[in-house]
Structure 1
Amino acid sequence: MGVSSQINYYEKKAIDQRVRYTQKQCAVLSDQIVMNGFRNYNMSSLSDEAGENVFEVEQLANNLEGRILLVDSRFKILADTYNRNCGKYLVTKETIHAMKGEEVAYRYIGKQYLQVITPIQDKNNDKSDVRGLIIAMVSLQNCNKMSEYLYDQRDNLVGIFFIITLIFSVLVALLIRNNFRRMQNELDIIAAGHQEEGLGQENFREFYNLSSSFNKIINRYKELENTRQEFVSNVSHELKTPITSMKILADSLLMQPDVPVELYEEFMNDIVHEIDRENQIITDLLTLVKMDKTQADLNITSVKINDLLEVLLKRISPIAEKRGIKIRLETMREVVAEVDEVKLSLACNNLIENAVKYNHDDGKVDVSLNADHKFFYIRVKDTGCGIPEDCQEQIFERFYRVDKARSRETGGTGLGLAITRNVVLMHKGSIRVHSKEGEGATFIIRIPLNYIS
């Protein structure tokens, strides 16, 4: 409830109490008039009894701090405590209603006075026999003063509240400005290259959340910067290794004038092998760069995954047969999905090739395909050396190798699984690995049947 509504409520309550009190006093006077005789209250009468009765009326008027009129059944004013209208007639809508026997009829006069009209009638006889009216006009000055006082207090409180609010707003604005300036200065320091500083934690929750978000961005930037530096270092090392090997082989040939043809051919074959390895690293790096672009680079078409896997196995089978490794494809159902055929082929090819390269001679590679109403699943399981548990979360990082010496022997670049993971993520899918050292490894790809843009 608002302040104005409360003031109006108290004002109405005070007026109602004034009305009830006036009605009660007029009812007492009405009973006296009926008992003493109505004509004995005529102010124009000079009798002693009339004078005493009129004194009662004047006493009530003083008690009510108002004016009392007595009107007979012909609407003639017999008594007026102000001595202004005696002998005149008072015919109004209110007096007519009261003359019909209505107990109460009252109204406001300019909101300054209250008019209460009480019928004069013998309650023991016929109530319709109205002998006259008592009209009490009571001042509402006290009620109005109370209302004015309350409104003045309200205005004062509103003014005080406004001033306090203004001061508080200015203080909060200054505090917020200072916090923003401090944050701006810290951001300027960070922008100058001092990322290790970070933002201070402010006291306000909103500033605390903002600072935390900026610090998360800064930490993410640090991680990306560290990853970039590590990536550049790895690229430099991987590209430098084949070049160093070729330089050593070439210098060895140049330092020996009379090199046997057999040794010369062996060295040249080694140089060609290093060149092929360098070319493979560059190709994989370019592939990764393309993978880092937006999803718009995907060429999504409806592809029968069964056929895609069969083509890959035919391509890899000759390599597996040289080492006596058996490759088996198991398809639970026909699967058609919305994918980029070229990129998905590359990802699956990397997994199956790794299963062959890092397998034991006469081992096995099982490739299975299944689907439900939402996803399709490709599982590649081998019987190779397995992956240590502490390495399983890192194998998808660029240039990471579990066994670096063996990877170089097999021609691995350390980028294949990173490429595979990027392809799967571009298709809004996921890839997991389950492995125990010495028991082989199982990779599971899950990709939505319908591409989610």
Structure 2
Amino acid sequence: MKNFTRNLFFNIFGKLILTVTIFSVMLVVIGYPIYDVIKGTTSYGIFKFIDDNKNLIASVIWIVGIIIILAWYWIKTISYIVIVAEASNSIINSNEELIHFPTVLKQMEDQMNNIKVDMLRKEQVAKEAEQRKNDLVVYLAHDLKTPLTSVIGYLTLLRDEGQISEELREKYLNISLEKAERLEDLINEFFEITRFNLSNLILELSRVNLTRMLEQITYEFRPMMATKNLQCILNMAPDVIIKCDVKKMERVFDNLIRNAINYSFENSIIKITAAQDGDGLKLKFHNQGNTIPEEKLNHIFQQFYRLDAARNSKTGGAGLGLAIAKEIVELHKGTITAYSENEVIEFEVFIPIIS
């Protein structure tokens, strides 16, 4: 913007100098010969007055000419300022029409249109995220009601049925406990939404043994894997050391492994590999599951986006896990990408090695 302002100033100033120069040359080349002709043919009236006061008249013509030219250029400049002010107002008011300037302001037109398009895009993304969030809150509120109704119903039966068998009592208690645990998960998702909106992630870097970290995380998921008879294979060198925010990176891997379990076929294998890649480390989380369509894959890291939009889905959380994982990885100057084809889902994480 500064370069453009300087260019605009020199452009207008240059045109001013050029116009004044041309005006002066024309006055000298054309004005005085005409005056000499007139002077030779008559010596009275208006021409006599001109002849007697030619120096004064020439000065007045110069001054008036310069004033007119300066006034014209200043008016032109002010008109440019008005145009730019109106365009700025258009950007602030989120008007979707592109900005159009005179040719001399073409550079500023391009810059302001770029700003406007970027702002409109960000505004649209924010609106879509807000809509997804609102939809999710409605879904979660609906989900909360279902298990709560079940818990109340079974507990009421246990209270009112005096002759209930021990076997049936045990069954009702187990169902109530399962529904209560589901309630806890849903409430945690509500808190997750709130934390995501309020938190500003700040890294606390320290050296960590990545191999042991992944071994521990995968071990903790064994009960969850057992429900689908899944096997997890960790293929990486022993004692791989990286520098990262341990708690936040654990959250990334937790989300990726949980995601792999939720979307894996039963009796399949989850593979986790890590290898040196240039100046960083590349990790791959590979599982067998239904192919994710490309249109969904393109949105998978967006806030509040769930692959399974079903209201009562056990696998569809708040749609924040992958969005938060992406933010954490990028804070570490890394990248995270997702691929899916031929019933294979793979997440690839690249983490630079920080010395």
Based on CA coordinates, which of the two structures has the bigger radius of gyration? 1
Q: Work out whether 1:205 is the aligned partner of 2:106.
A: yes
Q: Shift of residue 247 of structure 1?
A: 3.2
Aligned to 1:144: none
Q: Shift of residue 278 of structure 1?
A: 1.7
The answer to whether the Cα contact below 8 Å between 1:299 and 1:339 also exists between their aligned partners in 2 is yes
Q: Work out whether 1:245 is the aligned partner of 2:153.
A: no
Aligned to 1:225: 127
CA distance in 1, matches of 2:264, 2:129: 31
The answer to whether the Cα contact below 8 Å between 1:246 and 1:274 also exists between their aligned partners in 2 is no
Aligned to 1:23: none
Q: Shift of residue 419 of structure 1?
A: 2.2
CA distance in 2, matches of 1:283, 1:332: 37
Q: Shift of residue 242 of structure 1?
A: 1.8
Distance 1:382 1:157, change over 3 A: farther
TM-score where L is the length of structure 2: 0.68
The answer to whether the Cα contact below 8 Å between 1:183 and 1:199 also exists between their aligned partners in 2 is no
Aligned to 2:253: 348
Structure of higher RCO (CA pairs closer than 8 Å, 6+ residues apart): 2
Aligned to 1:426: 331
Distance 1:406 1:246, change over 3 A: closer
Aligned to 2:83: 179
**Greater percentage in strand:** 1
Aligned to 2:274: 369
Cα offsets for 1:374-395 (capped at 9, x unmatched): 1111111112333233321122
The answer to whether the Cα contact below 8 Å between 1:433 and 1:443 also exists between their aligned partners in 2 is yes
Superposition pairs of residues 284-299 of structure 1, within 5 angstroms: 284-286=192-194, 288-289=196-197, 293=200, 297-299=202-204
For residue 281 of structure 2, give the secondary structure of its aligned residue in structure 1. strand
* Pick aligned residue for 2:235 from 318, 330, 346: 330
The answer to whether the Cα contact below 8 Å between 1:287 and 1:419 also exists between their aligned partners in 2 is no
Aligned to 1:32: none
For residue 354 of structure 2, give the secondary structure of its aligned residue in structure 1. coil
The answer to whether the Cα contact below 8 Å between 2:151 and 2:180 also exists between their aligned partners in 1 is no
CA distance in 1, matches of 2:348, 2:151: 42
Aligned to 2:137: 235
Q: Shift of residue 207 of structure 1?
A: 4.6
Q: Work out whether 1:306 is the aligned partner of 2:211.
A: yes
CA distance in 1, matches of 2:344, 2:191: 28
Q: Shift of residue 289 of structure 1?
A: 3.7
Aligned to 2:182: 274
**Greater percentage in helix:** 2
Q: Shift of residue 251 of structure 1?
A: 5.3
Distance 1:377 1:408, change over 3 A: same
Please tell me the residue identity of whatever aligns with 2:109.
Y
TM-score where L is the length of structure 1: 0.55
CA distance in 1, matches of 2:142, 2:241: 43
For residue 369 of structure 1, give the secondary structure of its aligned residue in structure 2. strand
Please tell me the residue identity of whatever aligns with 1:232.
N
The answer to whether the Cα contact below 8 Å between 1:243 and 1:274 also exists between their aligned partners in 2 is no
The answer to whether the Cα contact below 8 Å between 1:380 and 1:442 also exists between their aligned partners in 2 is yes
Aligned to 2:49: none
Aligned to 2:15: none
The answer to whether the Cα contact below 8 Å between 2:309 and 2:316 also exists between their aligned partners in 1 is no
CA RMSD of aligned residues (A): 3.8
Structure 1 unpaired stretches of 5+? 4-153
CA distance in 2, matches of 1:197, 1:275: 44
CA distance in 1, matches of 2:349, 2:241: 15
Q: Shift of residue 323 of structure 1?
A: 3.5
Q: Shift of residue 396 of structure 1?
A: 1.9
The answer to whether the Cα contact below 8 Å between 2:306 and 2:316 also exists between their aligned partners in 1 is no
Cα offsets for 1:67-126 (capped at 9, x unmatched): xxxxxxxxxxxxxxxxxxxxxxxxxxxxxxxxxxxxxxxxxxxxxxxxxxxxxxxxxxxx
Cα offsets for 1:273-310 (capped at 9, x unmatched): 332222331353355346x51x5x11111222222212
Q: Work out whether 1:408 is the aligned partner of 2:309.
A: no
Structure 2 unpaired stretches of 5+? 1-20, 22-57
CA distance in 1, matches of 2:61, 2:243: 70
CA distance in 2, matches of 1:363, 1:443: 17
- Calculate percent identity across the aligned residue pairs: 20
The answer to whether the Cα contact below 8 Å between 1:387 and 1:435 also exists between their aligned partners in 2 is yes
Distance 1:255 1:237, change over 3 A: same
The answer to whether the Cα contact below 8 Å between 1:300 and 1:341 also exists between their aligned partners in 2 is yes
The answer to whether the Cα contact below 8 Å between 1:242 and 1:278 also exists between their aligned partners in 2 is yes
Deviates more, 1:176-185 or 1:385-394: 176-185
For residue 367 of structure 1, give the secondary structure of its aligned residue in structure 2. strand
CA distance in 2, matches of 1:244, 1:253: 14
Please tell me the residue identity of whatever aligns with 1:201.
H
Distance 1:430 1:168, change over 3 A: same
Distance 1:178 1:280, change over 3 A: closer
Superposition pairs of residues 16-415 of structure 1, within 5 angstroms: 162-163=66-67, 165-183=69-87, 186=90, 190=93, 195-196=94-95, 200-203=99-102, 204-209=105-110, 211-212=112-113, 213-247=115-149, 249-250=151-152, 257-258=160-161, 260=164, 261=169, 264-286=172-194, 288-289=196-197, 293=200, 297-332=202-237, 335-405=240-310, 408-410=313-315, 412-415=317-320
The answer to whether the Cα contact below 8 Å between 1:335 and 1:371 also exists between their aligned partners in 2 is no
For residue 409 of structure 1, give the secondary structure of its aligned residue in structure 2. coil
Aligned length: 295
For residue 403 of structure 1, give the secondary structure of its aligned residue in structure 2. coil
The answer to whether the Cα contact below 8 Å between 2:147 and 2:180 also exists between their aligned partners in 1 is no
